[in-house]
Chain A
Amino acid sequence: MPPLSRNAQVLRYLLEVAPGVGRIKLVKFAYLADCESFRYLGHAISEFRYRFDSHGPFDRAFYRAKDELVEQGYATETPTKIGPYDSYDYRPTHEDLEYSFTQAESEILRYVAITYMSETASRLCEDVVYKTPPMIGAKVGERLKMEKMEKERDPLGFNLERLLAAEASVEAGRYRALKVAVDELRARHRP
């Protein structure tokens, strides 16, 4: 079996966290994860190249990625109805998959899926997706400029990789009283 593409891996990871989402939400989750990844890591997680489609950010490569998942047995696709509309429901299978994401990328994918899984597709689009910087001012049919998410990286600013390392330290019980650490720092700075 050929290895899964990066895009298919993104969709499958999102489905593991939020099983049963439809096509529109799945695409929007991937888009939002790429936005957050640009913001915090300076690059996208997927290889999707989003355009402003009639329903917001979209890349036709989505079809190839979800077909890959279904054909290789990593997800199921079930026709369903949402109100009067025909739709599809996607769920991961029990097939094991080793992802090629970094810890920070996995964290972003998990965060997006958990945060937005309970939103309806239309609210997700209106309240979140259409307010992201790449969508603001974009016109239908245009390629979205994801680099609008990337702020100038401040070496003293937030750093996701360092945060995850610190959280792992806390989990392992590696921390000490703030006062002790600050006193040590003061001593270092005294002449």
Chain B
Amino acid sequence: MSYALAIAPEAEKDLARLVDSLPARRRERALDAVLEQLDKLAANPGLAVKSTLGRPTYRFSFVVDRVTYHWAALFKFSPDESTIVVTQLFRVLM
């Protein structure tokens, strides 16, 4: 069973900041990639590991125009446990 996906307002701002930091021509495809990656997480939350002060952390990479981006998402389950709510999206420096 896959979880529904939601996002907290603060994480929406994180996503906007991350996307704004990319060249304009890559933004659309970066958003596609983020959705695709978070869909994988929704299908299997076990992909996340507990780090970042004990929070489940899902690290993912994607490629746009041959450039690899390394980002991570933190999340919480909704009180009824039907939804994964993204609480932060951030860049991971490799």
Contacts and interface: CB of A to CB of B under 8 A. Distances in A.
Interface of A: 36, 40, 107-108, 111, 114-115, 151, 154-160, 162-163, 165-167, 169-170, 174-179, 181-182, 185-186, 188-189
Interface string B6-17: 111111101111
B40 interface: no
Q: Is the interface of A mostly helix, strand, loop or mixed?
A: helix
Nearest to A158: B90
Given A166-B10, A175-B6, A175-B7, 13 more contacts: A36-B53, A111-B54, A151-B93, A154-B91, A157-B91, A158-B72, A162-B10, A163-B88, A169-B8, A177-B7, A178-B6, A186-B28, A189-B24
A182 B34 CA distance: 9
B15 A162 contact: no
What interface size band does chain B fall in? Answer: 35 or more
Contacts of A159: 88, 90
Contact of A158 (B9, B28, B52, B86): B52
B10 A185 contact: no
A102 B81 CA distance: 29
A98 B17 CA distance: 37
